[in-house]
Copies of this chain bind each other. A is one copy, B any other.
Amino acid sequence: MTTAEKLGKTATLYRLDAQIGYVLRRATQRHLAIFAEQIPELTPPQFAVLARLQELGPLSQNRLGRETAMDAATVKGVVDRLLSRGLVLAKADPQDRRRLILDLSVEGRALFDMLARSALAITAETLSPLAPEERRQLLRLLEKIA
């Protein structure tokens, strides 16, 4: 007799704690708390935008969304908040009148440079319960399912 039958049901045995979605959500929660403590002035998506612009230079809003894994509606909100704080600048693309070209402002670049070390420390602290080899493993496995 199976455990499910003992419980008087034919339903599949379902343990929430063993589901990847639930564990991903809790790991993300802890990471977000560490991020907010170390870098209270920006959210992770905002920081990702600054990082990509610093790395790749001026980009269209659409391309920026692809490079930061945000859909068009989401990236618009994130970019609008950075624009209103003067951390990012927008200009029209003369070659393509649909496009909005975005780039870091001087202040945005300075802020990114200032916070980059903290951002690395956030990853380190999030992964601190793991041994060095485990940290590499986790990043590798997450990358495979992403």
Which A residues have a C-beta under 8 Å from some C-beta of B? 9-12, 14, 16, 18-32, 35, 44, 48, 51-52, 54-55, 68-69, 112-113, 116-117, 119-120, 122-123, 126-127, 129-130, 134, 137-139, 141-146
Contacts and interface: CB of A to CB of B under 8 A. Distances in A.
Q: How many copies does the complex hold?
A: 2
A36 to B, nearest CB: 11
Instruction: Give the 4 A-B CB pairs with smallest separation, nearest first.
Output: A26-B146, A11-B113, A138-B141, A12-B116
A69 to B, nearest CB: 5
A145 B23 CA distance: 10
A7 B52 CA distance: 16
Residue among A68, A112, A117, A139 with the most chain B CB within 10 A?
A139
